[in-house]
Amino acid sequence: MTAFEKAARPFGFAAAALLVLLMCYTVYAVLAREFFDHTELGLVEYSELLLMGIIFIALPGAVLRDDNIVVDVVDNIAPKRITRRLYVLGLVLTLAFFTVSAIAMIEPAMGKLHRNQYTMVMEIDRFYFWIPILFGFYLSIPAALWLIVHRLCRREPSVPHPGHDIE
């Protein structure tokens, strides 16, 4: 197991725990409604918040594992040195995307914090929905940077994905 995989594990475990919580809560709500005629208020709001957590808490782990979506357009026709450079360029663009997005998120997140907006049923502060988003994007920045530095400093060939030959 590489250092990147070890660093990614806590994010995967946290997302998995939130997924289990979401599944249990949904099953409870369905069973309560079916057998006890009890409607669980706030199911949609809690599910939305848990789903945000699942997606964005797992994001830095996906970056660390290098599990981004990859399309092999030039891998089979370009020389390997070009493929390596394009791969690093893709990582740099990923870092730029996370950085620009994280900066752009500050204003709307702070707007939710200062306006005291709440959900309709459970009156959950809307700022809480921004916490996993900010967490995911702000921790993905150092993850992407670490991956870039690692790829640039390695002398031996690197194979970022199974089936890719970037030697």
Higher pLDDT, 23 or 113: 23
Burial 105-138 (b: 16+ CB within 10 A, else e): eeeebeeeeeeeeebeeeebeebebbbbbebbbe
- Give the model confidence (pLDDT) of 79-90 as tens digits: 888 888 888 898
State the average pLDDT for the chain: 87
Residue 25: C-alpha distances to residues 1, 21, 30, 43, 49 (Å):
34, 6, 9, 8, 12
Instruction: Name the band, by pLDDT with cuts 50, 70 and 90, for residue 155.
Output: low
Domain boundaries, the chain: 3-153
Determine the average pLDDT of the residues in 58-85.
Answer: 83
> Which two structure tokens, joined as six digits, stand for 144?
């992407």
Residues 6+ apart with CB under 8 A from 54: 15, 18, 19, 22
Among 88, 90, 86, 65, residue whose Cα is nearest residue 75: 86
Q: What is the full DSSP assignment across 120-135?
A: SSS--BTHHHHHHHHH
C-alpha–C-alpha distance, residues 57 and 22, integer Å? 14
C-alpha–C-alpha distance, residues 16 and 38, integer Å? 28
- Give the model confidence (pLDDT) of 134-145 as tens digits: 999 999 999 999
Determine the average pLDDT of the residues in 69-78.
Answer: 76
C-alpha–C-alpha distance, residues 119 and 60, integer Å? 28
Determine the average pLDDT of the residues in 140-165.
Answer: 73
Q: Sign of torsion, CA 74 149 131 112? A: negative
3-state secondary structure of 32: helix
C-alpha–C-alpha distance, residues 150 and 139, integer Å? 17
- Give the model confidence (pLDDT) of 18-53 as tens digits: 999 999 999 999 999 999 998 888 889 999 999 999
